[in-house]
Structure 1
Amino acid sequence: MFITVKQAAEKWGISDRRIRELCSEGKIQGAYKEGRVWRIPINATKPADGRYKSKENILDIIDRKKNELDSRRPLTEGEVERLKEEFIVEYTYNSNAIEGNTLTLRETDLVLRGLTIDQKPLKDHMEAVGHKEAFDFVSELVKDNVEISESIIKQIHYLVLVDKKQDRGVYRRVPVHIMGAKHEPVQPYLIEPKMQELMIKFSESTEHIVTKLARFHIEFEGIHPFIDGNGRTGRLLVNLELMKAGFPPIDIKFTDRIAYYNAFDEYHVKHNLSAMEKLFAGYINEQLDLYLKILQD
C-alpha cells in the first residue's frame, strides 16, 4: 500500500516540496519513483531532522535510543526477520549503485527474488545477489560475535566480488588510482602491514563506536586492499561492527554519495573526521528511530 506526496505531507505536517526532497535524498524508507510520481509506503516513518548542534549531542541521543532499543530485547524471530526485510533490498541497491551498478531499487528487489531484468548486464545481477549473500554472512558473524580480522574481511570480499573470480578475497598486486579522490591508495607491498596495523588500532580504540567506525572506514578505504569491491566490503564491515555492538545496520544512500565522497577528502586533506562521523551518526539515528517505531506497532 502506497500514499502520494500530498498525503504524506498532510500526514507528517510538512510541505509537498520537502517530501519530494526527502524522497530524492533517499530519506524515506521504501519510497520510489514511478514515472514522475513518488510512491511512498503507507507505513513509512517521518525522517528525523538529522541536524544537531554538536557531535556530542547526536552521540548522546544515539546512546539513549540504543538503550531504549536494548530494553526491548530479545527480539522475536518475526521481528528480526521483518527488520531485515525492511533493510536488505535498499541497502543492496544503494551500496551497489554507489559503485556504478545500474539496477534500480525495484529491479534490485526483483533480482533478489530470483528474476532476471532484460537489457541489464549479468554483472549487475551477480553483484546484487553477491551483496545479499555477503550481508547474510555478516549477519551470521554477528550472531557468533566473531572478531573482525583480515581473514574475515577476505571472506566478505570473496562473496562481494562475484564477477571477478581470480580477485575474490585476494589483496591486489598492482598499484591503483581512485579517480577524483585526493588520496593515493598504498602501494601493494604496504597492504599487509597497513591492514595489520589497522586491525590493531581498531581493536585497541576506546572511542565511541561512531567515531571508531568512521575512522576505520576511511582508513580501510584509504588502504584500498582489493582491486575492486573495497567500497561494498568496507560498508559491510561497518555494519558488522555496528550490529555486534547492538546497533541497527546503516544504509548510505546513493543520493548522499557526494557527501560521502567529500567526507573522505575532508579526512585525507584536512585531517577532519567529523564529516564522516556526522554522516554515520545521522544514519544510525534514523535507523534507531525506525526500529523503535516498528517495535511499537
Structure 2
Amino acid sequence: MKYIRVSQAAEQWGLSDRRVRVLCEQGKIEGVTKDGRSYLIPADAVKPIDGRSLRGKNVPQEFAALFLRIDAMKAELNKRRTLTEGELKCLQEEFLVEFTYNSNAIEGNTLTLKETAMVLEGITIDKKPLKDHLEAVGHRDAFLYIQQLIKDKAPFSERVIKDVHSLVLMDRPEDKGVYRRIPVRIADAYHEPPQPYLVPGQMEQLITEFEKKKLHPIESAALFHLKFQGIHPFIDGNGRTGRLILNFMLMQNGYPPTQIKFVDRKRYYECFDSYHSEGSTEPMIKLIAEYVEKTLRRFLKILEENY
C-alpha cells in the first residue's frame, strides 16, 4: 500500500497539519500506521467528515464512528464522481441483476444469477417455473419505479409501499397492493405478525413515526425494515418489498442502493430474531451499514483505478 505524510494529507484535504494529526490520534482515518513518531496515511484514505454533521440526529455511540466513516466516503464519492452516463448505466444494470437474483433467491426463487440476467433480457429459461420468471421481471420493474421516484424527488408514503408491492407481485393480481386479510405465521421465527385488522393502523403509525424521528438515514432505514417485516402487511412479497423500500430510503438520502446477499441470509434472519427476541436493533443496523460501506468502497476503488 502507498502511504503519504501528514503534511501531504493536510494539503490534499485542505486541513492543518495539527488537525490531521489529531484525526490520526483519534483513529478517525482508516489504515493509519506509525513510522517512529510520525503518522503514515494510506494514499487513498478518505477525508474524515466533520463530526458536527451528526448534530441534531440521535446516533447511538456505538455507531457514531461507523456512520462518520460512511458519510466521509459518500462525500468523497460525490466529489470524485466522473462516470459517464454509459458507465453509470452499466454499473446500475449489473447491480439490478444481482439485487434481483439475491432478493428473490432469499424467498425461494430457483433462478441462478446467470438465469436471472437472461430472464431480464427477455429470454425464457427451460424447465423453470413461470412464477420465477415473473418474480424476476416484477422485481426489476419495482426497482426501476423506485429509481424514477428518487429522480422525481417523490416523498415516501404508504402509496409508494403499495405500488412497489403491486409490481413485485405481478403474478398475483388479486393480492398485489392489498393488505392481508388473514392471520399469518413466519416459519421458525420468534415473532408472530399482528392480526389482520391491526395491519392498516400499524402501517400508518409506522410511517408517521419515521417521519418524525431524527435518526441517521442508515439507522432509520434499518429500523424501518425491522418493523415493516414484523408487521408483515401483505400475504406474500413482504421480504422483496421490504428490501426495495430499504433501498428507497437509502437512495432518498443520497446513499447508493445495496443488497442483502443470498449467502448472508442466515445472518439476515438472525437480525430479525435478535430484534424480536431481545429487542436488539444493532445486528440489522450493522449489517446494512456494512453493505453500504462495501458498496461505497467499491465505487471509490473503481474511480481510483480508472480516473
The reply to whether TM is greater than 0.5 is: yes
105-114 vs 80-89, which deviates more? 80-89
Residue 139 of structure 2 is aligned with which of 127, 131, 138?
A: 131
Match of 2:263 in 1: 255
Distance 2:83 2:215 in 1: 28
CA apart distance, 1:77: 2.3
Match of 1:142 in 2: 150
Q: Helix, strand or coil for the counterpart of 2:200?
A: helix
Q: Helix, strand or coil for the counterpart of 2:179?
A: coil
Distance 1:230 1:116 in 2: 26
The runs of at least 4 consecutive aligned structure 1 residues that moved more than 6 Å come to none
| Residue 174 of structure 2 is aligned to residue 166 of structure 1 | yes
Distance 2:85 2:146 in 1: 17
TM-score where L is the length of structure 2:
0.77
Structure 1 residue runs without a partner (length 5+): 1-52
Q: Is the 8 A contact 1:83 1:291 kept in 2?
A: no
226-235 vs 54-63, which deviates more? 54-63
Match of 2:295 in 1: 287
CA apart distance, 1:75: 5.6
Q: Helix, strand or coil for the counterpart of 1:167?
A: coil
| Residue 147 of structure 2 is aligned to residue 155 of structure 1 | no
Match of 1:274 in 2: 282
Residue 63 of structure 1 is aligned with which of 64, 71, 74?
A: 71
Output one character per residue of 1:59-100: Cα deviation in whole Å (capped at 9) or x when no partner.
121011011112135864224312202201110000000000
CA apart distance, 1:203: 0.9
CA apart distance, 1:55: 2.8
Aligned residues: 245
| Residue 175 of structure 2 is aligned to residue 175 of structure 1 | no
| Residue 99 of structure 2 is aligned to residue 91 of structure 1 | yes
Alpha-carbon RMSD across the aligned residues, in angstroms, is 1.4
Within-5 A mapping of 1:1-297: 54-73=62-81, 76-296=84-304, 297=306
- Alpha-carbon spacing, 1:228–1:102, altered in 2? closer, same or farther (3 Å): same
Distance 1:203 1:295 in 2: 35
Distance 2:83 2:159 in 1: 30
Output one character per residue of 1:157-207: Cα deviation in whole Å (capped at 9) or x when no partner.
000002111001111111100001111111111111101110011111111
Q: Is the 8 A contact 2:104 2:240 kept in 1?
A: yes
Larger Cα-atom Rg:
2
Output one character per residue of 1:235-261: Cα deviation in whole Å (capped at 9) or x when no partner.
000111111111110110000001000
Higher RCO by CA contacts (8 Å cutoff, separation 6 or greater):
1
Q: Is the 8 A contact 2:191 2:230 kept in 1?
A: yes
Distance 1:199 1:63 in 2: 25
Equivalent position amino acid for 2:258 in 1:
I
Distance 1:214 1:208 in 2: 10
Equivalent position amino acid for 2:116 in 1:
T
Distance 1:197 1:147 in 2: 17
Distance 1:144 1:63 in 2: 23
Distance 2:62 2:186 in 1: 32
Q: Is the 8 A contact 2:81 2:303 kept in 1?
A: no
Structure 2 residue runs without a partner (length 5+): 1-60
CA apart distance, 1:123: 0.2
Q: Is the 8 A contact 1:94 1:253 kept in 2?
A: yes
TM-score where L is the length of structure 1:
0.80
